[in-house]
């Protein structure tokens, strides 16, 4: 399990209302991997003063094979289902599972590459630049404060994608899918000032909403339902992975699902 989770679990208040460093999951008390050396030393000093024999310091537990496997799978899911990839998955589903499967293959490929450039490569380059100037420390954007500017970048990229597909004569509901991403990004941006909502959960929930809307209104492919089940299962695994890695709490993941699903689902009703 990841040891350094200080950016994900802030300090909490003690019974007297004062902030106590030791009360967080990453503080000097009640650490995820047992008491720290400082705590052990404090215990030994207190026991010596009281005349009791000092106890042996507890050793951190060694992760089991299954815990290491869960760590690896969680890391894989977090990167394979990166929020920046969701617009690309979305346009692929739109071309393969809707009436737009009649669009010539070369046009589908060209549009997909443009969407990938806008929503994947451009944000990655901008995040890299933010890291160079010191505004971002972790490229994975796991810190709450590091997500403010990237949320704005994401909203702009979704907006550019909506404009692009609309300018190419795509149906309104396709542009509205990307507009739903704009709405979700802005909501996440606002929430991020007070709370660290799960961007992974919001992004994949938007794909679930897209597939449900396709099945209800514009789909002609019988295999869409199978992809919907796969995506729902992937969303559940991804949310569990984010909680397992201590990147988010269960409530933060559920909130992400709600924001992403509702933003895309209801925006796609606009015709």
pLDDT band for position 57 (50/70/90)?
low
Q: 130-182: per-residue pLDDT in tens?
A: 777 776 666 555 555 666 778 898 999 999 999 999 999 999 999 999 999 99
pTM given for the model: 0.74
| pLDDT higher than threshold 90 for residue 30 | no
What is the reported pLDDT for 145? 65
End-to-end CA distance of the chain: 47
Burial class (CB in 10 A: 0-12, 13-18, 19+), 242: buried
Tell me: the pLDDT tens digits for 236-256? Answer: 999 999 999 999 999 999 999
Give residues with Cβ within 8 angstroms of 198, minimum separation 6.
Answer: 239, 242, 247, 248, 252, 253, 255, 256, 257
Residue 52 has pLDDT above 90, yes or no: no
């Amino acid at each position: 399990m990841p040891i350094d989770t200080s950016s994900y679990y802030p300090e909490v208040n003690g019974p007297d209302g004062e902030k106590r460093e030791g009360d967080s999951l990453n503080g000097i008390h009640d650490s995820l991997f047992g008491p720290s050396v400082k705590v052990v030393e404090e215990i030994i000093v207190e026991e010596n003063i009281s005349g009791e024999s000092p106890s042996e310091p507890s050793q951190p537990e060694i992760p089991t094979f299954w815990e290491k496997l869960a760590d690896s799978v969680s890391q894989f899911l977090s990167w394979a289902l990166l929020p920046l990839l969701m617009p690309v998955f979305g346009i692929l589903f739109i071309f393969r599972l809707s009436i737009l499967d009649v669009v010539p293959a070369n046009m589908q490929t060209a549009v997909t590459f443009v969407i990938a450039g806008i929503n994947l490569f451009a944000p990655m380059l901008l995040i890299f630049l933010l890291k160079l100037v010191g505004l971002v420390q972790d490229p994975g954007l796991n810190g709450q404060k590091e997500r403010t500017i990237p949320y704005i970048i994401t909203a702009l990229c979704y907006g550019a994608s909506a404009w692009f597909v609309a300018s190419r004569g795509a149906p309104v509901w396709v542009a509205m899918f990307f507009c739903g991403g704009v709405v979700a990004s802005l909501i996440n941006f606002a929430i991020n000032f007070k709370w660290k909502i799960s961007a992974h959960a919001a992004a994949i929930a938007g794909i679930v909403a897209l597939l449900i809307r396709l099945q209800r209104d514009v789909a002609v492919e019988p295999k869409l339902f199978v992809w919907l089940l796969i995506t729902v299962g992937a969303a559940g695994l991804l949310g569990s992975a984010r909680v397992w890695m201590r990147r988010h709490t269960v409530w933060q993941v559920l909130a992400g699902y709600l924001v992403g699903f509702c933003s895309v689902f209801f925006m796609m009703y606009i015709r």
